[in-house]
Amino acid sequence: MIQKSSKIWMDGRLIPWDEARVHVLTHSLHYGLGAFEGIRCYSRADGRSSIFRLREHVQRLFDTCKILTIHIPFPAEAIREACVEVLRANGLAEAYLRPIVFLGDESLGVGASDMSVRVAIAAFHWGAYLGEEGLRRGVRCKISSFQRHHVNVGMTMGKVTGQYFNAILAKREAAALRYDEAIMLDIHGYVAEASGQNIFIVRNGVIRTPPASASILPGVTRDSIIRIAGDLGYRVQEVPFTRDELYIADEAFLTGTASEVTPIREVDDRPMGAGEPGEVTRTLKEAYAEIVKGRSVRYPEWLSFV
Ligand code: PMP
């Protein structure tokens, strides 16, 4: 359940949480043409708060809208400022931010043009997405019977609202079978990503993650981990790999803003390595936590202060 805060930024101003409503004939509600983001703000040991990679998340929101031919009626800078404003207005030192861009309710024609473009940003508390235990011990995953979109069907570079029905089906299927998370293959049969996270494997010290052509959402956390791992001296390869390569990996983990770096402890009932988070996963998970929580002096360009 969402933990309500008091204000939501909507179409340029802060309004009470309960008044941030839309009409039932909202175009995006019917057809799924909308863009959204998930961003985290962390409180730091020095008492301040910082948003992790705000610039990149807002850029991806604009990229998604470009793919969808939606014109956001605000410049990127105003959206970044609104993210800070909504955190301050709610007195939140640590929060998950959810910006969303969607079409209004003037028409229900599929190809309707001249539609209003609405923008909202909510901020609220959201703990570990796959649970504290999952974050610590690792999660159990199932290869899904649902595949990720073909790159010329879903626009997989974008964080498109409508695209998530497929992720929901995969996640529900995995949950019904008592797994924590679904891992989806692309249409060629290669490992793509989880329902809301990118995936990495480690074998003989080499880290691998599927390339963007595996119809993944190019995650901001994925990009951060590639950079951090490289800077720590690990070899990182963006290459396709198969489900059996995942089965026999020494380690595997998921990355995402909400899930951060979550170890995988089992895939299709096969334990990963020793069945507990491996050394590379632990190192990267810890390094990521240090950076986002401002306990590291590295990558200052990734932090925006509130
Ligand atoms: N893949 C999908 C399908 C997602 O929804 C997310 C979460 N935004 C990710 C990957 C991870 O992206 P990020 O690291 O930017 O949160």
Q: Which residues are catalytic?
A: 159
Going by CA atoms, what residue is nearest to atom 5 of ligand 1?
Answer: 196
Say how many Å lie between the CA of residue 300 and the centre of ligand 1: 22
pLDDT for 98-154, tens place per residue?
A: 999 999 999 999 999 899 999 999 999 998 888 889 999 999 999 999 999 999 999
Amino acid at residue number 144: S
Radius of gyration over alpha carbons of the chain, in Å? 19
Residue spans of alpha helices (H) in 26-151: 27-31, 54-68, 76-89, 132-137
- Ligand 1: lining residues by beta carbon, under 6 Å: 38, 159, 167, 193, 196-198, 217, 219-222, 255-257
Confirm if 200 and 209 have CB atoms less than 8 A apart. Answer: yes
Q: Which of 133, 127, 106, 135 is nearest to 118 (CA)?
A: 106
257, 284, 292: residue to mutate for ligand 1 pocket, most atoms within 8 A of CB? 257
pLDDT in tens, 19-43: 999 999 999 999 999 999 999 999 9
Whether the predicted pLDDT of 251 surpasses 90: yes
CA of 280 to the centre of ligand 1 (A): 21
Residue 157 is predicted with a pLDDT of 95
Greater confidence, 213 or 185? 185
Ligand 1 probe mutation, 168, 193, 197, most atoms within 8 A of CB: 197
Percent of the chain with pLDDT over 70: 100
Q: Which ligand 1 atom is nearest residue 221's CA?
A: 14
Q: Strand, coil or helix: what is 137?
A: helix
pLDDT band, residue 223 (cuts 50/70/90): very high
**Mean pLDDT score of the chain:** 96
CA 217 to ligand 1 center in whole angstroms: 6
The pLDDT of 55-81, averaged and rounded, is 98
Which atom from ligand 1 is nearest to the alpha carbon of 224? Answer: 14
Q: What is the pTM of this model?
A: 0.97
pLDDT at 45: 84
Q: Where do runs of H (alpha helix) occur along the chain? A: 27-31, 54-68, 76-89, 132-137, 164-176, 220-231, 243-247, 279-292
Task: Report CA(89)–ligand 1 centroid distance (Å).
Answer: 26
Count of C-beta atoms within a 10 Å radius of residue 182? 25
Q: What is the pLDDT of residue 83?
A: 98
The position carrying tokens 């969303």 is 100
CB 176 within 8 A of CB 139: no
Are residues 71 and 65 in contact, defined by beta-carbon separation less than 8 angstroms? yes
18: Cβ contacts below 8 Å, ≥ 6 apart: none
β-pairing, 260-267 with 270-271?
antiparallel
Coil, helix or strand for 248?
Answer: coil
Query: Which of 153, 180, 181 lies closest to 167, judged by CA?
Result: 181
> Which ligand 1 atom sits nearest the alpha carbon of residue 38?
8
Burial string for 107-134 (b: 16+ CB within 10 Å, else e) reads eeeeeeeebebbbbbbbbebeebbeeeb
Whole-number Å distance between alpha carbons of 29 and 70: 15
| Whether residue 168 has pLDDT greater than 90 | yes
Q: Which atom of ligand 1 is nearest to the CA of 198?
A: 10
Ligand 1 centroid vs 283 CA: distance in angstroms? 21
